[in-house]
Structure 1
Amino acid sequence: MDIEYIKENYRFETLGTKHDLSEFKCASDDLNDFLKNDALSQQNSKLNITKLVMCDDLVVAYVSLLTDTILLKDIRDEDIKQDIKDQLSLNSKKRKLPAIKIGRLAVDEKYSGKGLGSEILMSVLFNIKNIAENSVGLRFVTVEGYATAYNFYANHNFINLKKDDEKLKEKLDIIIERNPEETFYLYLDLRVLE
């Protein structure tokens, strides 16, 4: 299937028993296993929601979303921190702020590296922004991304939490070589989408 056709015709569907997941295969065994063995039961338990990215009847990618919080102290930008402190009249560094977490995002390996992941991520972010503006207060999107996905998220304005600074003193390519599924916590302020 042509990637441009997919980009113009994909849609999101909530994962259900009717979906055939047998052909989906991304580069990560962990992400494949989650989709095929855990996603639906976790969704049924209201722990997350998994949206399949469908083109025609083919699953080309998926994203799993859940609620999260981010600690005020983990936000890097001091102006943002001060603005939040002023709005909430608080000084506690341990204050938790509402967020939505991208728990998983995976693209079938037949379509990866062709911009589809970026297209899907931006669509998800703008949907979250719409929720934040119209349904429930939240300002941040978080992700716990693999080392192999770190630059992907960084290129979309995600910033690592301070607690991962120590890990990142080592070069990312060395980390990836040692353990490609080492995780990093990153966040995005939805205001960058304005």
Structure 2
Amino acid sequence: MILENDFRFRRYNKELAERVSGFDCGDKDLNDFFREDAFNYDAQLLGRSYCFLSATDNDIAAAFTLSNSAIRVTELPNNAKRRLVKLIPWIKQGRNYPAVLIGRLGVNVKYRNQKLGSQIIDFIKAWFLSDHNKTGCRFIVVDAYNREDVLHFYSNNHNDFSFLFRDVYQEKICNSIPEEEPLRTRQMYFDLATLL
């Protein structure tokens, strides 16, 4: 299946969610978010959700939430700071670089193993490089679940996200997470300038 040929892009809202059959991406946290929290985020202007509907409009194949963000360079360890700063021309080097955050992304279990997740990542990348984008945005960032399958999805050769921090230990230190606590998510980024 091809995302833009076989599905229709729509803003995800309560009326749409009530009209179509239930969305289940196989993850309780994501399902709960798209059942209720997505609407609260939207009402408070904290994030906007979108979805791709099946051609028959009977179900939601995938949904995702975007919000504005930034990579705060001053909060990064020196090695991560150097890696990012070298990507930006010296006249634009600053403390924060504009980014869009993929807050949530889920693919309906009915449409698994059809590469819809990667097609959505490509869609988001193209969207923020298009003339329809109304703001500057250098990076796409995500706090990916710290699970091997999710980390592989974002970092694989197709999606090409990089870890913001070199390792889990460094990420815990920079985010003031005690060493004994598990790290639930890993911060990752994609540099849109690589597509220009």
**Map of 1:162 onto structure 2:** 165
Map residues 130-145 of structure 1 onto 2, 5 A cutoff. Answer: 130=130, 135-145=134-144
Aligned-pair identity (%): 28
Q: Contact 1:164–1:185 (CA<8 Å) still a contact in 2?
A: no
Number of equivalences: 175
CA RMSD in angstroms, aligned pairs only: 2.7
CA gap 1:89/1:33 in 2 versus in 1, 3 angstroms: closer
For residues 53 and 189 of structure 2, the distance between their equivalents in structure 1, rounded to whole angstroms, comes to: 26
Per-residue deviation, residues 105-131 of structure 1 (Å, max 9, x unmatched): 000111122211111111111101226
CA distance in 1, matches of 2:93, 2:117: 39
Q: How does 1:110-125 map to 2 (within 5 A)?
A: 110-125=110-125
Kindly indicate whether the alpha-carbon contact (under 8 Å) linking 2:3 and 2:120 is maintained by their aligned counterparts in 1.
no
Gap runs ≥5 in structure 2? 172-181
Q: Distance in 2 between matches of 1:7 and 1:112?
A: 16
Q: Distance in 2 between matches of 1:89 and 1:102?
A: 24
Runs of 4+ displaced beyond 3 Å: 73-80
Q: Cα offset for 1:76?
A: 4.0
Matches within 5 A, 1:1-194: 4=1, 8-19=5-16, 20=18, 22-56=21-55, 57=57, 58-72=59-73, 74=76, 76=80, 78=82, 80-84=84-88, 86-88=90-92, 95-130=95-130, 135-148=134-147, 149-155=150-156, 156-162=159-165, 164-166=167-169, 182-194=184-196
Verify the 8 A CA contact 1:164 1:184 in the aligned structure 2. Answer: no
SS in structure 1 of the partner of residue 110 of structure 2: coil
Q: Structure 2-normalised TM-score? A: 0.78
Does the C-alpha gap of structure 1 residues 98 and 153 become closer, same or farther in structure 2, counting only changes over 3 Å? Answer: same
* Secondary structure at the counterpart of residue 50 of structure 2: strand
For 2:38 and 2:10, the matched residues in 1 are separated by: 14
1:49 counterpart letter in structure 2:
R
Amino acid at match of 1:82: K
Gapped runs of 5+ residues in structure 1?
A: 169-178
